[in-house]
Amino acid sequence: MPGRAESKRGHGNGNAPGERIFEFRGVDRKKLMFSFAITVVVMAVELAGGVLTCSIALVSDAGHMFTHAFAIAISLIAISVARRAPCHHRTFGLYRAEILAAFINGLFLLGVVALIMYESVQRIIEPHDVLARDMLIIALLGLIVNIASIAILHGSHKRNINIKGVFYHLVADAASSVGIVVAAILIHYTRWNIVDPIVSIGISLVIVFWAIGILKESAKILLEMAPASMNVDIIIHDLKERFPEIKQLEHAHLWMITADMPVFSAHLLLDDTHQSAGAQNRLISDINCYLCDKYHIMESTIQILSEGDAGTCPLTPGSKDR
């Protein structure tokens, strides 16, 4: 009997995963646009305030706010691109544009950190007088905006790595604003101007921590690694236990199109009682629904093999042409 393959999308009802994803992306886009608007305003205020008060911590936080605004802008573009429907040469659509955006944001953050760290070291060597009271007012304004933006995006970051990157920007911004508030109070009462660049370095370390996390997570998806929360060996074992008619399961692959779109494929060899086309089709449908319901796999491709089938192309990577 020739091999047979079937692919099923959605949650067992025939709906394409993009229909549900598009709904999420529309909500995320509105949240990002509002967050972008208030971030740009506060960034401008912090930059002007940092220059006027001679506070490198405020300038560094404005730089951090700029990376946040840049991240949101990239994310908005990525969401618009990802919403384009699949076609003959992009069969999965452009969902992975969001992952590229997250990766770019992580790299950009590291570049900004290098500049802030350099300027902070210069300020430690040659401290500048800081207008602590004005610094405190501007830092409090930044903190309020960060908390508001975190509240806006809360929830969306759990299902979208692109939004997660922006969310981490916001959390780091809020932490840096708290640090600047503390620094402003210390400088006001002690006149220890060196606290300003020290806080700036602390902010930079926080940024590095989030940036590395985003780079790692986005790189795993770009390299088509399995999600950290899923183990293909466990899924294989589970399928064999759930469907005893499976004699052999080979060439199982699990990867991500984007953060909320896991994909699975496998080759199956069935027992003698499931050799008819009707029995195979029913089994494939049951497996697809099971993978979707239990593991939230958005699309699975199952190929049924007969005894002696190779199942894969003989010209595998690394083999020589014949």
- Structure tokens that stand for 280 in this block: 């195979």
Question: What's this model's pTM, rounded to 2 decimal places?
Answer: 0.64
> What is the architecture, at CATH level 2, of domain 17-222?
Up-down Bundle (1.20)
CA distance 92 to 84: 10
At 289, the pLDDT band (50, 70, 90 cuts) reads very high
Angle, nearest 10°, between helix axes 56-82 and 161-190?
170
At 5, the pLDDT band (50, 70, 90 cuts) reads very low
Instruction: List the chain domain ranges.
Output: 17-222, 227-305
- The per-residue DSSP string of 276-307 comes to SHHHHHHHHHHHHHHHHHHH--SEEEEEEE-T
The position carrying tokens 């598009």 is 22
CB 64 within 8 A of CB 202: no
pLDDT tens sequence across 200-244: 788 788 778 877 877 888 888 888 888 878 888 999 999 999 998
Torsion, CA 19, CA 20, CA 24, CA 30, rounded to 10: 30
Please tell me the least confidently modeled range out of 116-120, 220-224, 278-282: 116-120
The pLDDT assigned to 108 comes to 79
- In CATH, which superfamily holds the domain spanning 227-305? Cation efflux protein, cytoplasmic domain (3.30.70.1350)
